[in-house]
Amino acid sequence: MKKVLIIDRVISQYRGEFYNQLKSELKKKGTELLLIYGKGTKKDQQKKDKIDISWGHLVNGKTIWIMGLDLYWQTSFLLLKEADLVIVQQANKLLFNYYLMLFRKIHGVKLAFCGHGKNMQSPEYSLANQIKKKLLTQVDWWFPYTEGVKRYLIKNKFNKDRISVIENAIDTRALLSQYQAISNAQTDSIKEELGIQSENIGLYCGGIYKEKRIDFLIQACDRIKSFIPDFHFILIGAGNESEKVVVAQKKRNWMHYLGPKFNEEKVPYFKLASVFLMPGLVGLAILDTFAMETPLITTQYPYHSPEIEYLAPGQNGVMTKNNINSFAEGVVKVLKNPEKLQHLKKGCQSSALLYTNEKMVKNFSEGIVKCLG
């Protein structure tokens, strides 16, 4: 039986079921999945969304600061010589990746990258992206998150026949089932608890850090409130800018910060919200909005993650110009137009069927088999 080893810096809540399904699917194909993961960086841990996987191997990691750069060393020698293929996230700061590139050349073990192709939160001409561009061909296979990433890889001379697009996803089917099970009595109870007597409710659920543009979001909500007096806003999540939200809600009795909530805990809040507001970096949160029929409203922010490709503006969400007034106006237009809101919700329902854990597992496992073959 061939063996594939995935080395991950950390396992987030949304990734656990994917790994379990992938292990099962690969076993059917005569391949054993091995997994090594760490506890992540301090920034990772501040999100409070990390889990353990019983069959995986937890190893130590260490952040190393060099000339203002936070590099990460994770001791991942375990199982390395057993693997026929090693898959890692493409990230400049993961020092063990450089060792693996050397190991590949010396021992002939296949190596694959998974990820974005470039740092989408930095300009393409940045030093970090120039380094990534130089190294993206130093592997045998690529598992890009989206078709857009695949186009970038091909543009930069990676062989298109050694690319398997995985269509990055979460367990949308489980979320959809949980969402449909939430009763009106449950949402009414939450509204009573929070002191909300309105249908005009916005929601934010995700990490709370710089790229999410929390200051922008709070100012935009103030503007929305000036147009819709009964507007309420719920924030769920954690991160190194959580204190900004804590301070903001003290001055606004219509703003409700609930801290981090995961899996079924967060579902009722999507059920009672009308729209999902995320003016900054959008990643996998877009799949939450699809599965739980809470249309995303975002901006033309230049540093979204690849999953922004799933957004069809006007069909399953809204993308406004990249300023506070335009964003707030976009939210107000949706909240004041029930027909438009229902149209977007239907678009979310359709999109939820397109991006699933099951499809991602299928794409990933088929790519692994091709690479090993």
Domain ranges of the chain: 2-170+356-372, 172-352
What is the distance between the alpha carbons of residues 246 and 255, in angstroms, rounded to a whole number? Answer: 10
Percent with pLDDT over 70 in the chain: 100
For residue 75, pLDDT beyond 90: no
Position 150 scores a pLDDT of: 98
Q: Report in angstroms the alpha-carbon separations of 212 from 205, 240, 257, 298, 301.
A: 11, 11, 16, 11, 10
For residue 164, pLDDT beyond 80: yes
Position 136 scores a pLDDT of: 96
Helix axes 214-227, 242-250, angle to 10 degrees: 30
pLDDT band at 124 (very low <50, low <70, confident <90, very high): confident
DSSP string, 82-150: G-SEEEEE--TTBHHHHHHHHHHHHH--EEEEEE-SS-TTS-TTSHHHHHHHHHTTSSSEEEESSHHHH
Contact 262, 178 (CB under 8 A): no
User: What fold is seen in the domain 2-170+356-372?
Assistant: Rossmann fold (3.40.50)
User: Across residues 314-331, what is the average pLDDT?
Assistant: 98
Q: Residue 30, by phi and psi: left (phi above 0), alpha (psi -120 to 50) or beta? A: left
Question: Which tens digits make up the pLDDT trace of 19-61?
Answer: 999 999 999 999 999 999 998 777 777 777 789 999 999 999 9
> Letter for the amino acid at 93?
K
Position 274 scores a pLDDT of: 98
Position 236 scores a pLDDT of: 98
User: What fold is seen in the domain 172-352?
Assistant: Rossmann fold (3.40.50)
Question: Which tens digits make up the pLDDT trace of 276-307?
Answer: 999 999 999 999 999 999 999 999 999 999 99
For residue 65, pLDDT beyond 90: no
Phi–psi pair at 116, nearest 5 degrees = -90, -15
Position 338 scores a pLDDT of: 97
User: Across residues 108-115, what is the average pLDDT?
Assistant: 97
**3-state DSSP: the chain helix, strand, coil percent, rounded to 5?**
45, 20, 35
One fold for 2-170+356-372 and 172-352? yes
User: Across residues 79-84, what is the average pLDDT?
Assistant: 93
User: Across residues 242-271, what is the average pLDDT?
Assistant: 96
For residue 315, pLDDT beyond 90: yes
What is the distance between the alpha carbons of residues 122 and 91, in angstroms, rounded to a whole number? Answer: 13
